[in-house]
Amino acid sequence: MSDEEIEGKGFVIKDRRRFTEEGEPKEETPAEEKDERPEPETEEEEKAEPEAAAEQAEQMPFPEINFSTFIFSLNTSTLLHLGEVPDPATGKQQEDLVMAKQTIDLIAMLEEKTRGNLTSDEENLVKHILYDLRLRYVQKAK
């Protein structure tokens, strides 16, 4: 690709800092430069923009990442390995008790290593999830 083709695609980086490297205030930019949205070049791009926006609106935002959501993720993974939840990729329920045990052991290790550093809600969450997963594992292993 030539440099001209590359310039038309991608993104633009603009320095929005209010001060220069010397610490002095920068001059204000004219209002006409503030419109950063590039104009679509073809009809296909014009049609693709609303479709992409609709697709983004349909997708649910991800929950905030914290310790509890991480434990819930490991719980879901274990349920998948126990065959309790269908695999999202295939839609089939498959058991993999070795992976289920490994994930349960991982949650137990996290419980041990984080002891004393969690809130009471987080401690209860880990305790109850471990109890439930261990019970389900024993039932499946019989």
Q: What is the pLDDT of residue 64?
A: 85
Taking the CB of residue 42, how many other CB atoms lie within 10 A of it? 8
pTM above 0.75? no
Q: Are 80 and 104 in contact (CB under 8 A)?
A: no
Half-sphere exposure of residue 83, counting CA atoms within 13 Å on the CB side? 10
d(CA 85, CA 93): 6
Secondary structure (H, E, C), 17-74 = CCECCCCCECCCCCHHHHCCCCCCCCHHHHHHHHHHHHHHHHCCCCCCCCHHHHHHHH
Extents of the domains making up the chain: 14-58, 67-141
Q: What is the pLDDT along the chain (142 residues), one digit of tens a residue?
A: 555 555 556 777 777 777 777 777 777 655 445 455 555 555 555 555 556 655 665 677 777 899 999 999 999 999 999 999 999 889 999 999 999 999 999 999 999 999 999 999 999 999 999 999 999 999 999 8
Q: What is the pLDDT of residue 43?
A: 57
Q: What is the pLDDT of residue 32?
A: 45
Distances (CA, A) of 48 to 10, 51, 60, 88: 16, 5, 20, 28
